[in-house]
């Protein structure tokens, strides 16, 4: 009986030793509920994308962000601010010069020439040269305003001895004669051709009663104070100025815009 109890005790001890030496495998860490929950949380944090608010499709820039700073000079922020433009500027933008009157299209103060004409005379005829010089001086630098009418007789005045004119060849009713002021018609004829070439409106013009050497019929402008006259109207939208000169056997007339 004692032997049986001893054998039973030994068998029980062996069984206990066998049970204690047996290793039970632990569950994998990744399979634990805590690890799985922590991993999913980290994944959500690392892959989260901020949903843009309506009307703002671009992420907000950092606080210290400078627009186009990669293309601006290093010291861009040190430049002075651009001057502001206010209404009522004292320097308005000029109009296109092509829309301005012809006389204002020049970039300087000199009158712009519209037309020029010249005729020749015998410089040896001093009396005729004297008369033409006086008449030329009378009309030189005369300004004719828009719409104004120019009268040669009114501008030159009487060609009398008292006014310094001398006797020279004149034409009267188809005949040659000597008279004070002979030659002043060449000045008026020269002016007429310049006026016509400038496109001004000729109101009165007459041929001589005999042919002249310095102009063709239709180009002449015979005058006689108190009688026939040469007149033109400035039909331009700007004033014109007359320049007339007699020197060295040439009578010249120029019409310019001013």
User: Could you read off the pLDDT of 164-199 as tens digits, one per residue?
Assistant: 999 999 999 999 999 999 999 999 999 999 999 999
pLDDT at 10: 73
Q: Is residue 206 part of a domain?
A: yes
Distance of CA 8 to the CA centre of its chain: 125
The verdict on residue 152 lying in a domain is yes
Give a yes or no: residue 27 inside a domain: no
Confidence of residue 224 (pLDDT cuts 50, 70, 90): very high
pLDDT at 131: 98
The burial class, CB within 10 Å (0-12 / 13-18 / 19+), for 118 is middle
How far apart, in whole angstroms, are the C-alpha atoms of residue 176 and residue 174?
7
Q: According to the model, what pLDDT value does residue 111 have?
A: 83
- On the question of pLDDT at 60 being above 90, the answer is no
Strands 240-247 and 167-172: unpaired
What's the full length of the chain, in residues?
A: 258
Could you report the per-residue pLDDT of 117-139, keeping only the tens digit for each? 999 999 999 999 999 999 999 99
Mean pLDDT of the chain: 76
What average pLDDT does the segment 145-164 reach?
A: 98
Q: Using a cut of 0.75, tell me whether the model's pTM lies above it.
A: no
Residue scoring higher pLDDT (8 or 138): 138
Per-residue confidence (pLDDT) for residue 84, from 0 to 100: 40
Structural domains counted in the chain:
1
Which pLDDT score is estimated for 85? 35
C-alpha span between 193 and 208 (Å, rounded): 15
pLDDT at residue 112, as a whole number: 94
What's the mean pLDDT in 16-42? 49
Residue 214 lies in a domain: yes
pLDDT for position 181: 97
Residue 16: band (very low, low, confident or very high) from pLDDT cuts 50, 70, 90:
low
Residue 245 domain-assigned (yes or no): yes
Percent of the chain with pLDDT over 90: 57
Structural domain including 131 reads 112-257
Q: Within a domain: residue 94?
A: no
In a domain, residue 223? The reply is yes
Is residue 200 in some structural domain? yes
Widest CA span of the chain, in angstroms?
195
């Amino acid at each position: 009986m004692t032997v049986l109890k001893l054998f039973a005790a030994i068998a029980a001890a062996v069984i206990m030793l066998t049970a204690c030496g047996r290793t039970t495998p632990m569950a994998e860490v990744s399979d634990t509920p805590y690890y799985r929950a922590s991993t999913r949380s980290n994944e959500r944090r690392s892959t989260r994308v901020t949903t843009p608010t309506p009307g703002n499709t671009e992420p907000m820039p950092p606080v210290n962000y400078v627009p186009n700073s990669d293309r601006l000079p290093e010291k861009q922020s040190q430049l002075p601010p651009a001057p502001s433009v206010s209404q009522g500027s004292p320097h308005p933008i000029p109009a296109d010069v092509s829309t301005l009157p012809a006389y204002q299209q020049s970039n300087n103060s000199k009158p712009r020439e519209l037309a020029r004409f010249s005729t020749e005379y015998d410089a040896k005829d001093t009396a005729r040269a004297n008369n033409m010089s006086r008449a030329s001086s009378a009309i030189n630098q005369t300004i004719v305003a828009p719409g104004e009418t120019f009268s040669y007789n009114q501008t030159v005045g009487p060609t009398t001895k008292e006014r310094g004119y001398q006797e020279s060849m004149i034409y009267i009713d188809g005949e040659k004669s000597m008279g004070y002021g002979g030659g002043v018609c060449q000045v008026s004829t020269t002016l007429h051709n310049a006026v016509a070439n400038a496109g001004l409106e000729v109101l009165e013009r007459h041929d001589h009663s005999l042919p002249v050497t310095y102009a063709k019929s239709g180009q002449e402008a015979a005058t006689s104070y108190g009688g026939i006259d040469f007149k033109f109207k400035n039909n331009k939208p700007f004033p014109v100025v007359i320049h007339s000169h007699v020197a060295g056997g040439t009578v010249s007339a120029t019409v310019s815009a001013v």
